[in-house]
Amino acid sequence: MRHCFLYLPVLLAVLAPAAVLRADDTGVEFFEKKIRPILVQYCYECHSADAKKLGGGLLLDSREGLRNGGDSGTVIVSGKSDESLLIQAVRYGGDVVKMPPKGKLPAAAIADLEEWVKLGAPDPRTVAAAGKAGASWEEILRVRRDWWSLHPLSRPVPPQTTTTGAEQPIDRFILARLESQGLAPGKPASDTVVARRLSLVLTGLPPAPQLVADFVSQSATEQERPAALERLVDSLLSSPQFGERWARHWMDVVRFTETHGNEWNYEVHHAWRYRDYLIRAFNADVPYDQFVREHVAGDLLAQPRWNEREHFNESVIATAFYRFGEVNHDDCISLREIGFDLADNQIDTLTKAFQATTVACARCHDHKLDAISARDYYALLGVLRSSRLVSHTLDAPQVNATTMSRLRELKPALRKELAALWHDDVPQIRRFMLAAQAKRANRADAGELANGLDPQRLEKWVVAFAVEKAPLEDPLEPWRRLVAAAGNDPALLPGEWRKLAEEYAKQDRERSEFNQSQFTSYADFREAIPSDWQVAGQGLSAVPSRSGEFVLQGEGDAVVKSVLPAGRFSHHLSERLNGTLRSPVLPTGKKNISFRVMGQRSSALRLVSNNCQLNYKNYRALTSPEMQWVMFSPPDDRDSLRTYAELMTMFDNPKFPDQLSALGNDPANYKLPWEKAAENPRSFFGITQAVLHDCPEPPRPELSHLRTLLAGPEPSSFEDVAGCYATAIERAIQAWSDDKATDDDAFWLDYLLRRELLSNKMPAASRLQALVAQYRQLEGELSLPRIAPGIADGGAGFEQPVFVRGDCQRPGEKVPRRYLEVLSTNAVNFLAAGSGRLELAERIASPTNPLTARVMVNRIWQHLFGTGLVRTVDDFGHVGDLPSHPELLDFLAVKFIEDGWSVKRLIRAIVLTQAFQAASQPSAAARETDPQNRLLSHYPARRLEAEAIRDLILATSGRLDKSLYGMSVQPYREQEYADRRLFPGQLDGNGRRSVYIKNNLMESPKFLGVFNFPGGKVAQGKRDVTNVPAQALALLNDPFVLQQADVWAGRLVQRPDSAIAPRIDAMFEAALGRRPTDAERQRFEQAAMQLAELHQVPSADLLKSRIVWKELAHAMFNLKEFIYIP
Amino acid sequence: MPIKRTSAISHCPGRLAAPVTRRDMLRTAANGFGLVALEGLLAENRATAAPAEAFRHLPHFAPRAKNVIFCFMDGGVSHVDSFDPKPKLDELDAKPFTESKNPTANGNRQWLKSPWAFKQYGQSGMLVSSLFPRIAECADDLAVIRSMKADLPIHSTGVLRLHTGSNNAGRPSLGSWAEYGLGSENRNLPGFIVLSFGVVPCGGLENFSNGFLPASHQATMFNADGIPIENIQPGDKDRRIQETKLALLLDQDKAFARDLGNDDAVESAIRNYEMAYRMQTLVPDVLDLSRETEATQKLYGLDSKVPSQRLYGIQCLRARRLVESGVRFVEITCPPGASNGTWDQHGNLKAGHEKNALDTDQAIAGLIRDLKARGLFEETLVMWAGEFGRTPHSAGRDGRDHHPEGFTVWLAGAGVKGGTIYGATDELGMQAVENVCTIHDLHATILHLLGLDHERLTYRSSGRDFRLTDVHGRVVHEILA
């Protein structure tokens, strides 16, 4: 579906008219980018060592061949394209041979060849084609390995420069390049500009006026200035807003999004926790190598980083980065590309983010230009497919531990009180049954029989008896059948009883036999969770529930919600606790698998195939509080689809809230925002066993709980029958009271309680009431589960076959899991035991990895200077750019590693350079020689990003709410569009910084979208910067901008100014971080008066006129300077 | 009476009077232009404003079509109920169908005959169902492709593929490619406009995205109701107030640009204020339908009592006015219907399709007639397509599911051979069997009509040259005049 096919540059003359060599480029780059692809695509078929038939004796796949020429002699006359046979041939003119014979090359390709010959036909191919072109991958790799970004980091010595004053090593690198081009370094920017620049770049917010004033006054002398500057930088680096800004930068790299787009736009549930993780990580200056390890394998670290204040696992949150992007919800078994596209996007993000390498281009074939083979791709795919996409519970073990143990301790006392309550019910059971039966039959004695009985309870019995077509296993079914057969003639009762007992015995036998012969146990949760199942969540943290464990109602008069059989129940202590259970890859051999489960409120049971998290196939919402069998037919190739079973509660459920929940008959959360749907956090599931089978139905309900009831002597009256029931019930209560209940006993009690046939209300002022109140209070103290989406290992690793031409229907040879060959000193495969992600993390986070430090240093440089030393921050391969300052890049990378991978130290060192503090005015010479300012002769002023523009407006108007963290706020929208999960949000986003605005894949926040807010689908380390009228329209007319102008005006008119001028000065300081010039002040004064006139505001009232100041505030927001990093 | 094209154009504000050469474009787009233009603007001397960037790339060969109007039939119209009659279905009606592997079509299935009758129209004798009586009257103008084949029976991938040639989001939309290839003809209007009813189609707004093309090629959404474009309504009711502020901004920004050494980006931004300023009046002007005669309004069904029919008529008439003003590509979406696309009638086929047909039939036919009357039909391509067809079989008696294996689209207007039927599905409408036409082929054909070679219209991104048609696509010459 995706064709990673590298086209030849065509139409280049049109698309990139100035795409000729830059002064500092080498012919090598030109050859690699332009010429080699032409030769490969158009010429090698006939002119290479492994051509089927060599054309004209000419080899073009090696430098030697090209220079030697062919049967017609020399083909290239260096520097003279018109005289070169090769050029004449491709021009299709004159009487020379026309090449390529199949059709003329695109004009751009011909132009490139001409240009290349004019340059002297530079040809870096040092390795001869070794007798056969289309050389083996080993040979290709050997050549491609020789690429700047794959070379080990060098330790360049800062060069000597002739210009004095550059003491910083970084400045010396920059200066040396400038000098080599005859350029002078930029003049220093003013203190106010430096302060504003630093604040915008480091925190994304304007500097507080006081901060600027302090800096200006403290840097009055040359001696004081360095220290004052360092103080300013340090205070900005240590402000919490630093983390917010740099987190957002990284969010671009990992294609952060909070919904999955596609049709139903499912939530990336708890995605905001990753955003908060980033903010904390950047603020805490987590060493970048650790940051990398946490992203790649935060779930596998021997010693994860714990958040000591919040008591949760930080490291594991980073694995959420795998989970962003667009995700399709369709059936990925019949449409299995869905799963592979998803993994492709993960590989793409992983390798671009940390290695600036386009591994995803090797999905269909070996990379066309870079040192990446298809085997590399599938080795990594194996790593990802040996992993699972999961919901991680972050809570540390101590969270809720005390409360949970106190809840547990209350259970015996509760059991004692409940048993006593139910024992008191026993004597009346017989009377209730007889009275209810009489009432149902409208018998004359109904009233008399009801005498003294609780009418409400009696009604419940009537209802229970009235059930039609109840299954045999219903405990009241024998009674109903006997009434039907002998209700009018008790004389028939003994005979009917006999018949019934025989029928039950027969059914009991048949069902047991059927169940024993047809089903193989797969997993049994009654003793313990099978060791190869993965378990997470506090609801499952304790030992399994024994038969008769009970669940309390969370509120109301009723006490007990359920009496449970032996098994695993996420809610045995509280429905506020969460849980997930995951099976190993399901075994083959049997057609079907059935699970005996219960659950409610967006808990679910499903089979996951190919890591498709939103798939609707084999997904069952659990909607029953009673145990039931749920059957699936897993796909035949469940092995290669890595199909496993998963049970989870609402908070863990990635399909919650479920747009398709109506399909699962759980419409409660349909089309609500997450926080609304999760308002009631209660959710639960339970499981007792799973079985495998070929027969097309799950196990039949057994009848063991009715054996003793029907085993007794034949009754002669319905009173006797009722007596049998009373005895059975009493036995169950007694066993439960003694903590010796069996599943059958538990079933009886659960059945009766669910139908309110046993007392379940707290007597007023009773000990039971006090215990329940205590229990509920403790339950309320349980903190809700904290969850992040992420990745986890899924048992033993999996060897992924290479897909021929990327087609998942054509598996080829299997490849072991390992890292990219070119980045492995020796191609060691990963351990068989797990996915290999931990080893992968170590390979990437290694100081000897040539890319990791270079790539991050370059990203940081880009955010400080607008452009990376390598402009293509996500691609350090052959189609990427070459570094403008390769030695500086290496110097910084080495320094970065030696400084403990500290991002803050690196930023600090860079912003303290003269280059960063230079003024942004280019010299005439610089504009001529270096129009793109690659050599940094001046600081590149540039437009701020979308988020910063919005934040700046809020900060200037005074509306900014600086609170940190938390669930995202909905972007501005007036209408709800629930089908696409677009919900209304406030115009001003509650004043929160843009990083907290919900990032919706279906529709980016409107105001931000105008200013190139990134897409959330693919890694985008460098944002587009467009310059379109929609931006002008937004700043002129967007209601948010107008609203904030008014907010600011409201504050301005409160100022006790006595004239226009000081107020204008204050506005300049707030909006631009500087005072106006005299001319500017006059200009604004004049505008103020004109606007007052247009609004018919008398000049005496001008200072108090909110509307006039709103106009000026609005004008301020529209200044280019306002949205520029100076 | 046909109105001469030239008179229509010359009165259209912003429409370029004469073709601009690439050299002219480069000259006028040089540094400093924005400043001059905005100054001129504020001096209310609008005539002096120089033409903006246009004809970024000249076409590869002489174009047949200058503009495209794409009537997007969101959700998938049933081909066997509209333009591809299948008498055989009448025979098999209600008989069991068992072969489906389509994941959106589960359950016990049976063949379902069309509830609508087909009739011959025009000199071509084209068979069209009673769903589209008005469009049917234009049969001799249509080139119907009955052998379309899409990829997956999924809305999101289908809609994305129809718009961008790819199942996954992230690629430029057809309209973006067209505008990228040919540039805009009006300096004050966007070149790619989507007339929207506020429905976000499956696949999201990515369907109208510029993808990796420069952002200026993304679609601008015009709403059917209320304010036509985000932020087009001036925040200042009094024009003089905005002008006062703009004058202030101009002085400040000029000084700022100068401080940065005549910074190109700042100057472009200043220029954008000029276009923004003009769009505020021009857009409402172009969309002002009150300038149309009553007869024209009726032709589009603007007198309809059915609100959705009236709105769709408004959109079609707006499309004509936009094209007339030099907008390169206009897409008309459908009024809201089923949640996964207006035509997505898994159930309620009869009522649903009839309602959608009622909404769109008269207006589309009206559009064709009106374009012809104005001499615009020869240079405007009208395209009618959904992401797939619907299954000839069904789980119930009144619904059809997604069907990408064979379905129908049609083209009309510039360069199209009217009264043509191209390709065929099998006798049950299951598979495209004759002259199979993929979405890539359709795209290649549309680009061809615009004078663009789909193999040469490329854009380099992440180190490779991308095409709308990826590595596929064949121009369907058989339907071209």
Residues 6+ positions from A1112 with CB-CB distance below 8 Å: A1049, A1064, A1067, A1084, A1087, A1088, A1091
Residue of B nearest to A877 (CA): B463
Q: How many helices (H) and strands (E) does chain A have?
A: 38, 20
A339 shares contact with chain B (CB less than 8 Å): no
Query: Which phi and psi angles does B59 have, rounded to 5°?
Result: -65, 160
d(CA A417, CA A849): 66
d(CA A563, CA A422): 13
For residue A164, the model assigns a pLDDT of 67
Amino acid at B9: I
Q: Which 166-185 residues of chain B touch chain A by CB within 8 A?
A: 166-170
Task: Find the DSSP H helices in A254-336.
Answer: 271-283, 288-297
Q: Which H/E stretch holds residue A597? A: strand A592-600
Strand locations in A750-827, DSSP E? 787-793, 800-803, 811-815
Task: Find the DSSP H helices in A795-851.
Answer: 837-844
B152 shares contact with chain A (CB less than 8 Å): yes
Q: Which 212-251 residues of chain B touch chain A by CB within 8 A?
A: 214-216, 220, 229-236, 238, 240-242, 244-245, 247-249, 251
Q: Which 64-83 residues of chain B touch chain A by CB within 8 A?
A: none
Q: Which 383-442 residues of chain A touch chain B by CB within 8 A?
A: none
A27 shares contact with chain B (CB less than 8 Å): no
CA contacts within 13 A on the Cβ side of A1124:
22
Cβ-defined contact of A1037 to B234 (cutoff 8 Å): yes
Instruction: Please spell the DSSP secondary structure of A150-193, one letter per residue.
Output: GSPPP-PPPPP-SSTT--SHHHHHHHHHHHHTT-PPPPBPPHHH
d(CA A232, CA A248): 22
- Tell me how far apart the 2 most distant CA atoms of chain A are, in Å: 123
Residue of A nearest to B271 (CA): A1029
Of residues A263, A740, A853, A225, the one with CA closest to residue B75:
A263
For residue B27, the model assigns a pLDDT of 30
Cβ-defined contact of A617 to B230 (cutoff 8 Å): no
A1016 shares contact with chain B (CB less than 8 Å): no
- Contact A1043/A351 with Cβ under 8 angstroms? no
Distance from A1029 to chain B by nearest Cα, in Å? 4
CB-nearest partner of A1 from B167, B456, B457: B167
- Contact A853/A847 with Cβ under 8 angstroms? yes
d(CA A1002, CA A470): 48
Q: Which residues of B touch A1025 (CB under 8 A)?
A: 265
DSSP A42: I
Mutate to test the interface with A, among B248, B452, B461 (most CBs of A within 10 A): B248
- Contact A206/A200 with Cβ under 8 angstroms? yes
Task: Find the DSSP H helices in B207-348.
Answer: 239-259, 264-286, 294-299, 307-324
Residues 6+ positions from A277 with CB-CB distance below 8 Å: A314, A317, A318, A320, A788
CA contacts within 13 A on the Cβ side of A941:
26
Cβ-defined contact of A1033 to B276 (cutoff 8 Å): yes
Of residues B380, B407, B377, B374, the one with CA closest to residue B391:
B407
Residue of B nearest to A874 (CA): B462
Q: How many CB pairs under 8 A join A and B?
A: 221
Distance from B388 to chain A by nearest Cα, in Å? 16
CB-nearest partner of A6 from B202, B277, B464: B464
B130 shares contact with chain A (CB less than 8 Å): no
- How much is the pTM? 0.83
For residue A90, the model assigns a pLDDT of 87
d(CA A314, CA A305): 5
Cβ-defined contact of B464 to A326 (cutoff 8 Å): no
- Contact A286/A305 with Cβ under 8 angstroms? yes
Of residues B225, B195, B207, B226, the one with CA closest to residue B323:
B195
For residue A807, the model assigns a pLDDT of 85
Residues 6+ positions from A1044 with CB-CB distance below 8 Å: A953, A954, A956, A957, A959, A988, A1113, A1117
Q: Which H/E stretch holds residue A685? A: strand A684-693
Of residues B448, B441, B452, B319, the one with CA closest to residue B382:
B319
d(CA A811, CA A385): 15
Q: Which residues of B touch A10 (CB under 8 A)?
A: 456, 458, 465
- Number of Cβ atoms within 10 Å of the Cβ of A550: 22
- Contact A980/A1002 with Cβ under 8 angstroms? yes
A560 forms beta bridges with A552
Q: Which 317-376 residues of chain B touch chain A by CB within 8 A?
A: 339-340
Residues of chain A with pLDDT under 70: 1-26, 50, 52, 126-134, 164-166, 662-664, 666, 826-827
Beta-strand pair B389-390/B402-403: antiparallel
DSSP B291: G
Beta-strand pair B329-332/B192-196: parallel
Which ipTM value was assigned to this complex?
0.80
- Contact B70/B335 with Cβ under 8 angstroms? no
CA contacts within 13 A on the Cβ side of A585:
23
Distance from B264 to chain A by nearest Cα, in Å? 10
Structure token pair of residue B237: 């009711």
Q: Which residues of B touch A14 (CB under 8 A)?
A: 57
- Contact A822/A847 with Cβ under 8 angstroms? no
Of residues A1121, A213, A1052, the one with CA closest to residue B254:
A1121
Strand locations in A610-655, DSSP E? 619-621, 624-632, 644-648
- Number of Cβ atoms within 10 Å of the Cβ of B237: 8
Cβ-defined contact of B245 to A1 (cutoff 8 Å): no
Structure token pair of residue B382: 């009208």
For residue B463, the model assigns a pLDDT of 64
CB-nearest partner of A1094 from B240, B456, B459: B240
- Contact A297/A319 with Cβ under 8 angstroms? yes
B52 shares contact with chain A (CB less than 8 Å): no
Residues 6+ positions from B139 with CB-CB distance below 8 Å: B121, B122, B124, B126, B128, B419
Q: Which 594-633 residues of chain A touch chain B by CB within 8 A?
A: 617
3-state secondary structure of B382: strand
- Contact A1117/A1035 with Cβ under 8 angstroms? yes
Distance from B340 to chain A by nearest Cα, in Å? 7
d(CA A630, CA A655): 19
Residues of chain B with pLDDT under 70: 1-58, 100-107, 215-216, 462-463
- Contact A140/A36 with Cβ under 8 angstroms? no
For residue B25, the model assigns a pLDDT of 33
- Contact A243/A278 with Cβ under 8 angstroms? yes
A690 forms beta bridges with A523, A595
For residue A165, the model assigns a pLDDT of 67
CB-nearest partner of A358 from B240, B260, B462: B462
CB-nearest partner of A1026 from B214, B256, B465: B214
Return the CA Rg of chain B: 23
Distance from B414 to chain A by nearest Cα, in Å? 26
- Number of Cβ atoms within 10 Å of the Cβ of A230: 12
